[in-house]
Structures are given as structure tokens and as C-alpha cells.
Amino acid sequence: MNKKSKARRPRKNRSAKPSRTAIAIVGLGYVGLPLALQFARKGVSVIGLDIDQVKVEALNRGESYIKHVPASEIGAHVKSGRFVASSDFSRVEQVEAVIICVPTPLNRYREPDISYILNTGKAIAPHLSRGTLVVLESTTYPGTTEQELKETLESGSTLVAGRDFHLAFSPEREDPGNKNSRVGEIPKIVGGYTPRCTEKAIALYQRAIKTLVPVSSCRVAEASKLLENIFRSVNIALVNELKVVYDAMGIDIWEVIAAAKTKPFGFMPFYPGPGLGGHCIPIDPFYLTWKAREFGQHTRFIELAGEINTAMPHYVVAKAIDALNAQGKAVKGARVLIVGLAYKPDVDDARESPSFVLMDLLQGKGAKVAYHDPYVPVISPTREHSHWAGTRSCRWDRRTISNFDIVVITTAHKCVDHAQLESWARCIVDTRNAILARSRKVWRA
Ligand SMILES: NC(=O)c1ccc[n+]([C@@H]2O[C@H](COP(=O)([O-])OP(=O)(O)OC[C@H]3O[C@@H](n4cnc5c(N)ncnc54)[C@H](O)[C@@H]3O)[C@@H](O)[C@H]2O)c1
């Protein structure tokens, strides 16, 4: 009797309570916040957990820090009690499921940094109950969920995955800036640690997501997400390479792509640019590169694509130097304006933006560099380009723009009037086919 009650004691307060209907979403960023709101929209109570106290407080006041997430919607869900943000991880005791959406960057040696996932695992493990479902959404290499995360959750909770709690991986397919892309409409892959875990995860997501795609394991789900991102990285590298080759032949890559995409089968257009940006495409493929080494495998396509894509800012700088040279000017001392700091059109996200690399390269050659981006009025601190923090987007008027020796278009936001830019600027290097008029002052790069 004594022995029995002793064995039960540690789990006494952590048994599944029939009243637990809320879910927790850990990491309220570009992925976690839209997902939390999608569940709230469908009537599920969501506790959003984040270590960033500033974000937590802003969300509870009904404020948004992501352009495409309306503050009014956050406010309405906070008011109705469907959504609350918190930094108190003991609230995991109140939920039936925990979805983890924390960052997965590369470290300074360009190796996977899964410390955010493991720290989350450590923070939630002591509060897990029997029957709770834990789903990882952060992009990572195959094996993370059923090895590193599972071990962290088990050792911090004394519960066993697949027996006492459920575990799954379900990659996110958020497409920021695309108005037609809604979280609830995008088919979602789900792979559980056991078939029962998959069932549990499908049952959870069915409450908020229209189409679910079950796969046989967490590893297949993790690998599928990497395939999607590697596919983009490799194809972007291919058109970037063709851009350079066709330019040398006097052929416009944009015209070539427009023609090729009229083929109704077997072709999908990808577009060149000044280099890769964002939180996914420049980073995720290297998660696989690192893991593949453990199996004695090499990811040659991924590394070649990385090499070509990271060479692009240098190609653009070379074009800018040619364009200045044609005006009889040196890059040293030249006034250069970068138009577009966000890594893609119509978003306010400047993470990993190639514009930073261009600004560094041009400044390193003695140019006086400024930028304009209506979505990034001031540069926030970044890990690798911290010296730009606090720099403000320059004014948009004829006098200011015509004062620059050269303008480099790096991101083609719809709200930027490129025809106006063309009439104001002295010389333009266009990496996005934003200027349709072909004139001698416009250089393609
Ligand atoms: N942004 C996208 O479009 C996108 C698309 C698909 C997949 N992903 C993947 O989703 C994951 C999250 O990306 P994101 O863009 O939302 O990142 P983000 O930086 O916008 O947000 C992450 C959030 O997690 C919080 N956080 C960090 N450590 C934490 C911890 N230990 N506990 C609680 N909260 C913590 C941060 O404060 C931040 O609010 C990454 O793996 C990313 O690769 C992102």
C-alpha cells in the first residue's frame, strides 16, 4: 500500500484532468502567433508561452508586432479569453497539447543550433501530464523529435513518450506576405512517434486546419520540410547561375523565365535575386548537410546552391561598380541607396536579408550607404549586422533620391513606386526586375 502510494505521488498532480481543453503554443513569432490565432478563431483556448516578456505584455494589451497579423484580432481573442500570452511555463499543466514553434538558427560555425528546442523541452517537461501531446513545429534535421527532444522531455518529467505522453512533428508552412495563404487552408504534414501519437496530433490539428497529411514517422515529417526548403534553395541557385551566364550573352533572364513559364507542364518558375534571405531558405538546408555527415553522406547539391546564392551580393556589387564607373565615379565616396531591407516583398521581416550583406560590402569599399524600406522604418539589432541597428529608412522624395549616385533595388515592395524611382534616380541597379522601362540608366543584376 505504502509502496503503491509512494510510486504514484510524484505524478499525483499531473494526471490528465478531463477539463483540460486548452492548448499551449511555445514561441509567439512569425509561426507561433498566426497558428495560435487560427486555433483561437476555431474556438480553442490558447495559452501562448514566450520567454520575451515584452512580446507577452504587448500581446496581452492586444498589440501586434507582425505586419500581417492584425492587432484587432489579437485584441478580440484576448478579450474573449480565447488567447492569453504568458511566460509562466507551469501553465503547461493546464493544457492537453503543447506546440513548439521556437527558432532553429545556425551557430557561428554554420551548424544547427537546437538549443531553443531543448530549452523549451526543459521548461515544459516538469509540467507535463499523462496524456499530453507535444508537437514540434520548428524546422530541424531528421531525428530531433524522437531523439533529442524526446530524451529532454523524458528526463525532465519521468514520463515515457508513446506510453505516458504523445509526441509528434508537424512542420509549419507559413508564407508571410502572401495574402492568399491562410494557415488554416495550407495542408499540414503530421508524423507521430507512434501511430497513436499521429492519431492524437491529427485530432488536435483537425480542430483548426482543413487538410492533414499523416506520414509514418517524425523523421519523415522532418525530412519533408527540409526537402521543401532545399528544393527552393537549389532552384533559386539555378536561376541565379543562369542570370549570370545569360547576362554575359546579352540575354535578359527575366524575359527567359516569362517565356519558359508558359509551358503548361514540367516547369515551375523561380526568380533570381541579390542573394537568399529570411529565416528558412538560407539556413534549413544546412541542418541536413550537418546531419548527413553522421551517416557518411555529402549534400553536394545543397552546398553548391549555397555557394552560388551567397556569391550573389558580390555579383550585385560588381554591377554597381560598373554602373558607377560608367558615370566616371568610384565606389569610394559614392552615395548609395539600397531600396528594400526586408528579405521579400510586402513583409517587415529583415532576418538574414541579403541587403545587409550588400550594405556591408559597399560600405567596406568606402561607399556612403543608406536604405529605404517603408516596412522597416528603423533597423532592429541583429546578430551579424549589429552595427546597422538604429539606422533609419531615408525619406522618399525627389530631392533625397536624386541626391544618390546610385540606387540598388533589392526588394520590390508593391507599395514602392518604382516608376517614380526611375524618374528620380540618376542610376539604378535592379536585382528584381522592378523597373520595367529599359533605359541606359537601369542596370540589371
Ligand atoms: N518564419 C517563417 O516563415 C517560417 C516558416 C516555416 C517554418 N519556420 C520555422 O519555425 C520556427 C520558428 O520560426 P519563427 O519565424 O516563428 O521565429 P521567430 O523568431 O519569429 O519566433 C520565435 C519565438 O520564440 C521565442 N522563444 C525563443 N526561445 C524560446 C523558449 N525557450 N521558450 C519560449 N519561447 C522562446 C522568441 O522569443 C520568439 O518570440 C523556426 O524553426 C523556423 O525555421 C519559420
C-alpha closest to that of 41 among 172, 211, 210, 208: 208
Q: Is the CB of 280 under 6 A from ligand 1?
A: yes
Whole-angstrom Cα distance, residue 360 to residue 356? Answer: 6
Mean pLDDT, the chain cut into blocks of 10 residues (445 residues total): 42 48 95 96 97 97 92 96 98 97 94 98 98 98 98 97 98 82 92 98 98 98 98 98 97 97 98 94 96 98 97 98 97 98 94 96 98 97 90 98 98 97 97 89 95
Judged by DSSP in three states, 165 sits in strand
What's the one-letter identity of residue 346?
D
Catalytic residue among 197, 218, 280, 427: 280
Whole-angstrom Cα distance, residue 151 to residue 344? Answer: 37
Per the CB < 8 A criterion, the answer to whether 121 and 102 are in contact is no
Judged by DSSP in three states, 70 sits in coil
- State the number of CA atoms in the 13 A half-sphere of 29 facing the CB: 16
Per the CB < 8 A criterion, the answer to whether 293 and 287 are in contact is no
Largest CA distance in the chain: 93
Q: Is the CB of 132 under 6 A from ligand 1?
A: no
**DSSP 8-state code for residue 126:** G
What's the one-letter identity of residue 236?
I
Cell of 321: 561598380
Whole-angstrom Cα distance, residue 181 to residue 227? Answer: 20
Other beta carbons less than 10 A from residue 380's beta carbon: 11
* Concatenated DSSP letters of 195-221: HHHHHHHHHHHTTT-S-EEEES-HHHH
Predicted local confidence at residue 238, as pLDDT:
98
User: Pocket of ligand 1, candidates 30, 53, 351: which has the most ligand atoms within 8 Å of its Cβ, to mutate?
Assistant: 30
Per the CB < 8 A criterion, the answer to whether 324 and 285 are in contact is no
Per the CB < 8 A criterion, the answer to whether 383 and 356 are in contact is no
Q: Is the CB of 101 under 6 A from ligand 1?
A: yes
Q: Is the CB of 277 under 6 A from ligand 1?
A: no
Nearest-5° Cα angle at 345, 342 to 350: 15
**Strand 428-430 with 368-372, pairing:** unpaired
User: Pocket of ligand 1, candidates 102, 169, 170, 276: which has the most ligand atoms within 8 Å of its Cβ, to mutate?
Assistant: 102
Predicted local confidence at residue 207, as pLDDT:
97
**Strand 166-169 with 188-192, pairing:** antiparallel
Cell of 397: 522624395
Q: Is 394 a catalytic residue?
A: no
Predicted local confidence at residue 3, as pLDDT:
42
Predicted local confidence at residue 108, as pLDDT:
86
Element spanning 164, H or E: none
Per the CB < 8 A criterion, the answer to whether 138 and 116 are in contact is yes
Over residues 50-84, the pLDDT tens digits come to 999 999 999 999 999 988 899 999 999 999 999 99
CA 55 – ligand 1 centroid, Å: 13
Q: Is the CB of 129 under 6 A from ligand 1?
A: no
CA 315 – ligand 1 centroid, Å: 31
CB pairs under 8 A, 24+ apart, for 209-215?
209/38, 209/183, 209/184, 210/184, 210/185, 211/185, 211/187, 212/187, 212/188, 213/187, 213/188, 213/189, 214/189, 214/190, 215/189, 215/190, 215/191
CA 100 – ligand 1 centroid, Å: 9
C-alpha closest to that of 228 among 183, 297, 171: 171
What's the one-letter identity of residue 443?
W
Per the CB < 8 A criterion, the answer to whether 223 and 145 are in contact is no
Q: Is the CB of 405 under 6 A from ligand 1?
A: no
- State the number of CA atoms in the 13 A half-sphere of 209 facing the CB: 24
Whole-angstrom Cα distance, residue 197 to residue 169? Answer: 10
Nearest-5° Cα angle at 271, 258 to 380: 145
User: Pocket of ligand 1, candidates 59, 101, 183, 353: which has the most ligand atoms within 8 Å of its Cβ, to mutate?
Assistant: 101
C-alpha closest to that of 16 among 114, 123, 92: 92
**Whose CA is closest to atom 24 on ligand 1?**
27
Cell of 423: 524618374
pTM score of the predicted model: 0.91
Beta bridge pairs of residue 28: none
